[in-house]
Chains A and B, each alone.
Chain A
Amino acid sequence: GAVVSQHPSWVICKSGTSVKIECRSLDFQATTMFWYRQFPKQSLMLMATSNEGSKATYEQGVEKDKFLINHASLTLSTLTVTSAHPEDSSFYICSASRYNEQFFGPGTRLTVL
């Protein structure tokens, strides 16, 4: 149990376009999901905390208008990178919380050309 999926697993897009990444908890309900970003050879940095039915809480330095997070149901959170630029290229990882434990998705590699 406690499986988290992400879709897509990788995406390549042109600069200026928007990309949506889905994070799903497949076999449990998650009131809280977290979005992390990982640059090559670096650690995971928390971007935002997503709570079902309410606005996400963003970490300092993360643009909420650029990284739109929607947690519309107890099993789905989405991260939309709006007007993507090459510097947004990164590995995005979500996690879903159950009983105060976090379960991680496999990650989405975004490459912006």
Chain B
Amino acid sequence: AQSVAQPEDQVNVAEGNPLTVKCTYSVSGNPYLFWYVQYPNRGLQFLLKYITGDNLVKGSYGFEAEFNKSQTSFHLKKPSALVSDSALYFCAVRDQGNTPLVFGKGTRLSVIA
């Protein structure tokens, strides 16, 4: 069975500084990895995904993530944080095929001006 771990409940970063939100995963086969962002009382917004190819994936709003197979990690990064990036971030994984996503517990990012 697939699983996702987001070890940090909360990440605080100063505006303009780089940010990292951690995610590790466990799947039986090749992973399909995703990052979503959720603002209060809103649905999920897709940020980026890794299916295959380059380990560094670039997504929306300047975010990127690096797939590391040996460490089974897919950390979300951004070179320069904005106050508007403050939100709840979810890492998710699924197996191949039309299978549902399994979500991590979420990490709340707070960017301080």
List chain A positions with a Cβ less than 8 A from chain B: 6, 31-32, 34, 42-46, 49, 91, 93, 95, 97, 100-107, 109
Contact = CB atoms under 8 A, between A and B. Distances in A.
A46 B100 contact: yes
Contacts, number: 44
Tell me if B's interface is mostly helix, strand, loop or mixed: loop
A102 B43 contact: no
Given A93-B43, A109-B41, A100 B98 contact: yes
B27 interface: no
Interface in B9-51: 36, 41-44, 46, 49
A43 B43 contact: no
Given A46-B100, A49-B100, A104 B90 contact: no
Interface of B: 36, 41-44, 46, 49, 90, 96-98, 100-106
Given A42-B105, A43-B90, A44-B90, A34 B100 contact: yes
Closest 6 CB pairs of A and B: A106-B43, A104-B44, A107-B43, A43-B105, A44-B103, A43-B103
